[in-house]
Amino acid sequence: MQIRLFHLQNSRSQRIVWFLEELGLPYELVINHHSNVDEKKNSPHQLSKFPTVEIINQEQISILAETSAIIDYLSYLYPQLGQSKLLGSQLQSFYYWKNYCEGTFIPDLLLKQIFNQIVQRTPFPIRFVSKFLKYGLIKAI
């Protein structure tokens, strides 16, 4: 089995690099930079998503994107290395932290980024209104 990871620097695909290293699986790393993503479209995924894993197994090629899906699929392919060794609270912690990024962290981070842009683009005379809304959001998160 051959694994090729299409990785975008400074993105969520760091999680997949870390996961492959932790499992000790051999893989090929295809690194892309934010500056040339639009030019090259180096991801084999139809929507050019990163991270994308290409798994070549007995002449069959599987392409998979989304970090949680990749982690679940690799855990399924290598049960001796994955969550099958975990018991009770360890297994709960595995699932919690595996999904924490997409479920909790990223939405909050995205809202902060959106409100930062709203504040920057609001005309100066009424900018205090958007700053007040941003402040309320940050306190609520």
The 10s digit of each residue's pLDDT in 99-140 is 887 778 778 878 888 888 999 999 999 999 999 988 888 888
The 10s digit of each residue's pLDDT in 2-45 is 999 988 887 778 889 988 998 899 999 988 876 655 555 667 76
For 72-121, the DSSP string reads HHHHHH-TTTTGGG--THHHHHHHHHHHHIIIIIHHHHHHHHHHHHHHHH
| DSSP 8-state class, residue 42 | -
